[in-house]
Amino acid sequence: MTHGTIAAKLISNLISGKENRYAELFKPSRFNAKSDAKNFTIKNADVAKEFVKGKLDRRDKKMEDLQSDEGAVVNFDGKRAGGFKDSAGKASLVDTTCTHMGCELNWNNGERSWDCPCHGSRFDPDGKVLEGPATKPLKKLS
C-alpha cells in the first residue's frame, strides 16, 4: 500500500512537471545488469548455502538430553527435529523445516524461538509463527 501511495504522488508530479525526490529511486532504467545481477547472485547463493547446510545437519542430541527450559535440534526417530522442555518439564517436538520455503530452522536460545537463517521467519517453541514471511505453524511431532 505504501508503494501505491508513493507511485500516485510520483506520477502526478511527473505529469505536472514537479520534482519528486523519489523519481530516481523508482526510475525504470535504474537497473544496472552487471552490478545488480552480481548482488542478486551473492545474496541468493547465501540462501542456497543455508538451505543445503540445514538439510545435511544431523544431531546426536536426543530429547531426553534436554534440560528444563532448554531447546535444541535433536535426533528423533533418526531425523532432525526441534525439541523444547519448558520449566515444568513439559516437552514439545516440532519439525524444523520452515513452512515458508523449506530451510532448516535453528534454536535461538536468547529469544527462545526457532529461527530461519534463509528468510528470517521465527516460531515459538511449540511451532506457532512469531514472525514471517512464514504464515503456517511448524508441524508437531509429539
Mean pLDDT of 77-102: 91
Query: Is the pLDDT at 75 greater than 80, yes or no?
Result: yes
Q: Where are the domains of the chain?
A: 2-27+42-56, 63-131
d(CA 84, CA 90): 8
pTM above 0.75, yes or no: no
| pLDDT recorded at residue 135 | 95
- Residue 45 pLDDT more than 80? no
**Amino acid 126: pLDDT:** 93
Q: Is the dihedral of CA 39, 45, 51, 53 positive or negative?
A: negative
Q: What is the pLDDT of residues 30-42, one digit of tens each?
A: 777 777 778 878 7
Q: From 3.30.413.10, 2.102.10.10, 1.20.140.10, 3.40.50.10380, which CATH number describes the 63-131 domain? A: 2.102.10.10
Smallest Cα–Cα separation from 120: which of 46, 65, 52?
A: 46
